[in-house]
Chains A and B, each alone.
Chain A
Amino acid sequence: MRRLPLISFAIIGTMIFVAVFAPWLTPHSPIDQSLPDKLLPPFWEEGGSTEYLLGTDIFGRDLLTRLFYGARVSLIVTGLALTVGGGVGLVLGILSGYVGGKLDAFLMRVVDAAFAFPTILFALLLAVTMGQGMDTLVIALSLFLWAGFARVIRGEVLAIKQRDFVALARVHGSSPARIMFVHIMPNVLNTFMVLLTLNVGVIIVAEASLSFLGAGVPPPTPSWGLMVAEGRGKITSAWWLSLIPGIAITLVVLSFNLFGDWLRDRLDPKLRQL
C-alpha cells in the first residue's frame, strides 16, 4: 500500500486555504497599481522589503497577493470545468455503454472527433468568437474533458452491465433509466473520482496555457498562467515574475497527480490490503 502523500495533501490544502481566505491573508489588492513600488525583488534579495514578501510586478502589485487570487481563479475554473465536462462525460459514458448499438457507435465517433480536435486551437477560436472570459475558458475546457470521461466510463459500464445483478434488476422490472443511474452509476463512481483528481492537474496546466496565450482570463484578473506570460519579457532582470508562479503551477499539478495516484490505489480493491 502506497503511503499517504502528506506533502501533496499539504500543498493542495494550502492552495485551497489561500484561495478561500485570500482577502484576509494580505493587506494588498491584487489589481490596484502602485508604480513607486514597481519591480521590487523578493525580501531575501537585495532591495527587497518584508512588505512585499515575493516582490512586485511591473505595476507595483504584490506578487504573493496575486498568487493567492490566482489560486482562486484556477480552482474556480477547474471546479466548473470538471463539474460540467466530467458530469457530461459520466452521463454520456453510461448511456453509450448501457444502451449500446447505434447510439454507442455515434457517441464514440463524436468522442474520437473531440480527441482529434486540437484543444488549444479550439479555445483560441472560442475566445475570438465569444470574447475572453472565465465562461469561455470553462466551456473550452469542458468540451475537451468530457470525451476522455465518456470513453473510460463507457468501458467500465460495458463490463458491469454483463453482470447478473443488472439482468436481475431487469427481471425485477426496473426501467432502463433506473438501472443505469441507480444500479450501474454507483459502480463507476470510483473510476469517476480518480478521473476527476487526475484531471485537476491537466486542467490547471490547460488554464495556465490558455491564459498565457491570451485566450484565458483577461487581465488584470490574476491567473498563474497570465502571470508567467506577463513576466516573461523581464525574465533576465526580474526573474521572480515568471518563475514563482511557474513553481506554484508545478507544485500544485504534481501534488494533484500524486494525490490522484494514491486515490486510484486506495479505491482499487485489488491493491487494497485490509
Chain B
Amino acid sequence: MDSAPVLEVRNLHTHFFLRRGVVKAVDGVSFALRRGEVLGLVGESGCGKSLTALSILRLLPQAAARTIEGSVLLDGEDLLAKSPGEMRAVRGQRIAMILQDPQTSLNPVFSIGNQLHEALARRPDNTGRSLRERAVDVLRRVRLAAPEQRVGQYPHELSGGMKQRVVGAIAISCAPEVMIADEPTTALDVTIQLQYLDLLKELQSSLDMGILFITHDFGVVARMCDRVAVMYAGRIVETGPVREIFDNPVHPYTQALIASVPKLRRKTGRLRAIEGQPPALSDLPVGCRFADRCPHAEPRCLERYPEAVNVGENHSASCWLAA
C-alpha cells in the first residue's frame, strides 16, 4: 500500500461565483488514491462529493464554477495544467466514470453494441478481432447474461441493473487507471446492489484500477472501500482505513454518521439523527464547520478551524478534540 498514488488531489478549491456571493462548494480537499485501492468519499448531500469528482475531470457544470486553487495529479501530471485537447484524451482513456442513474446513462437511440464500439474504437486492439467481438467480450467481463444478444438490443429493452452493467462495461473498455463511481448503486434495488459492488471489486482487482467511490451509505462503504474520507461542508474532516474509521471514529461528525446507520445484530433502539443543518456554503463560519451541530463543541471550535492531526496509522481528523 506504500506505492505512489495514481491520483492525488491537493488542496482543491472549487467555488461558484454567483451574483449573490461566492459558494465554496469544495474548499481545500486533499486525498490520494493508490492503484488497486478503493477510496470512499462519504458525506451528506451537497457536501461537495460529486463536485470534487467533476473538478478532477474538469467538467464543472456551469460557467460560474471554477477551480481556483490546488492541483490534481494523475501519475504525477497536473490535470489542471493540461489543455482542453489533452484533457479529452485523459477522460475516457485514463479516468472513467459511472453515474448514479442507469436509466439516463445510455443514449436511447443507439444499440448497446454501438455505444460500446464508440468507446472500444478509441483503444487499439492488435488481436485482429472485430469491434463486435470485443464488445461481446467486455459485456461478458461485466457478467451480463447472453452478451451476444445484448449487443443488438437498445437500452429500453434492458433492466436498470443490466444497464448499469453496460455503463460499467463502457467505463472499463478503455482500461482506465482510475474509475470514479458516483453513487453507482443508489438507483438499483438492494439485491442487485450487492452483485454490482462485487462486480466492481472484481473488475478493480483484475484491472488494478484505483476507484474513487462516492456514496452517502456507510453500509456500502464497509463492503467496498479500503480507506474512507469523510467530507463535510466542502472539506474532508476525517480520513483513514475503513476498519479504523468504523471501530474508532474520532471526528464527532463521523461518529454521528456511523451511529445513524442501523445495525442488524445489536439492538440500538431509536436511530440517532444529526440535529440541525450544515452551514450555508456561501457563508461559512471561521471555526469548525460542524461546531453548531456538534455535541462536544467548545469555544475554541468556533474561533479557529482545526488542522488535520494524525490520530493513528494513516488516520487523521480535523477536530480540536483529537489534538
Question: Interface of A with B (CB < 8 Å)?
Answer: 101, 163-165, 167-175, 183, 186-187, 189
- CB pair B63–A101 under 8 Å, yes or no, is yes
A171 touches B109 (CB 8 A): no
Q: Known contacts A164-B105, A168-B170, A170-B59: does B88 contact A175 (CB below 8 Å)?
A: yes
In the complex, what distance in Å separates the CA atom of A164 from the CA atom of B59?
Answer: 13
A172 touches B99 (CB 8 A): no
- A186's nearest neighbour on chain B, judged by CB, is B109
With most chain B CB atoms within 10 A of its CB, the pick from A165, A169, A175 is A165
A172 and B92 contact, CB distance less than 8 A: yes
Closest CB-CB distance, A190 to chain B, in whole Å? Answer: 9
Taking the nearest CB of chain A, how far is it from the CB of B114, in angstroms? 10
- Across the interface, which residues of B come within 8 angstroms of A186, CB to CB? 107, 109-110
- The reply to whether the CB of B91 lies closer than 8 angstroms to some CB of chain A is yes
A165–B105 contact, CB under 8 A? Answer: yes
**B96 CB–A CB distance under 8 Å:** yes
User: Beyond A173-B90, A187-B109, is A167–B99 a contact (Cβ under 8 Å)?
Assistant: yes
Is B260 an interface residue when CB atoms closer than 8 A count as contact? Answer: no
Output the nearest chain A residue to B105 by Cβ-Cβ distance.
A164
A170 surroundings in chain B (CB, below 8 A): 59, 91
CB distance from B40 to the nearest CB of A (A): 20
Residues of A within 8 A of B93 (CB): 173
Which of A101, A164, A175, A183 is B99 in contact with, Cβ under 8 Å?
A: A164
Q: How many residues belonging to B are interface residues under a CB distance threshold of 8 Å?
A: 27
B89 at the interface (CB under 8 A from A): yes
A241 CB to closest chain B CB (Å) equals 50
Contacting residues, chain A, for B57 (C-beta < 8 A): 171
Task: Collect the chain B residues with CB atoms within 8 Å of residue A164's CB.
Answer: 99-101, 104-105
B107 adjacent to A173 (CB under 8 Å): no
Which residues of A are found within 8 Å of B110, using beta-carbon distances?
Answer: 186
Q: Report the minimum CB–CB distance from B226 to chain A (whole Å).
A: 24
> In the complex the two chains form, is B96's CB within 8 Å of A187's CB?
no
Known contacts A169-B107, A172-B170, A174-B92, then 11 further A-B pairs from the complex at CB < 8 Å, ordered by chain A residue: A164-B99, A165-B107, A167-B59, A167-B99, A168-B167, A171-B95, A173-B93, A186-B107, A187-B108, A187-B109, A189-B109
Convert B61-95 into 0s and 1s, putting 1 for each residue whose CB lies closer than 8 angstroms to a CB of A: 00100000000000000000000000011111101
Given A101-B63, A163-B104, the answer on whether A168 and B88 have CB atoms closer than 8 Å is no
Interface-central residue, B63, B93, B105, B107, by most chain A CB under 10 Å: B107
Partner of A168, one of B89, B97, B108, B122: B97
| Complex: chain B residue closest to A188, CB-CB | B109
Q: Give every chain B residue within 8 A of A189 (Cβ-Cβ).
A: 109
A171 and B91 contacting across the interface, CB-CB below 8 Å = yes
Q: Is B119 an interface residue (CB 8 A)?
A: yes
CA distance A170 to B99 in the complex (A): 12
Closest to A190 in B: B109
- Asked if A172 and B91 make an inter-chain contact with CB atoms under 8 angstroms apart, the answer reads yes
Q: CA–CA, A183 to B118, complex, Å?
A: 11
What would 22 A/B residue contacts be, using CB atoms closer than 8 Å? A101-B63, A164-B104, A164-B105, A165-B104, A165-B105, A167-B59, A167-B99, A168-B97, A168-B105, A168-B167, A168-B170, A169-B107, A171-B57, A171-B92, A173-B89, A173-B91, A173-B93, A173-B122, A174-B88, A175-B88, A186-B107, A187-B108
Complex Cα–Cα for A163 and B106 (A):
9
B119 surroundings in chain A (CB, below 8 A): 172
Residues in B131-182 with C-beta less than 8 Å from chain A: 167, 170
Closest 8 CB pairs of A and B: A172-B92, A173-B92, A173-B91, A163-B104, A173-B88, A186-B109, A171-B97, A164-B104
Rounded to whole angstroms, the CA-CA distance of A164 and B110 in the bound complex is 15
Task: Using known A-B contacts A173-B88, A175-B88, determine if residue A168 contacts B99 with beta carbons closer than 8 Å.
Answer: yes
Distance between Cα atoms of A98 and B27 in the complex (Å):
29
Q: How far is the CB of A212 from chain B (nearest CB, A)?
A: 42
| From A165, A171, A183, A187, contact of B59 by CB (8 A) | A171
Tell me, rounded to whole Å, the shortest Cβ–Cβ distance linking B180 to chain A.
8
Q: Which residues of B contact A174 (CB under 8 A)?
A: 88, 92
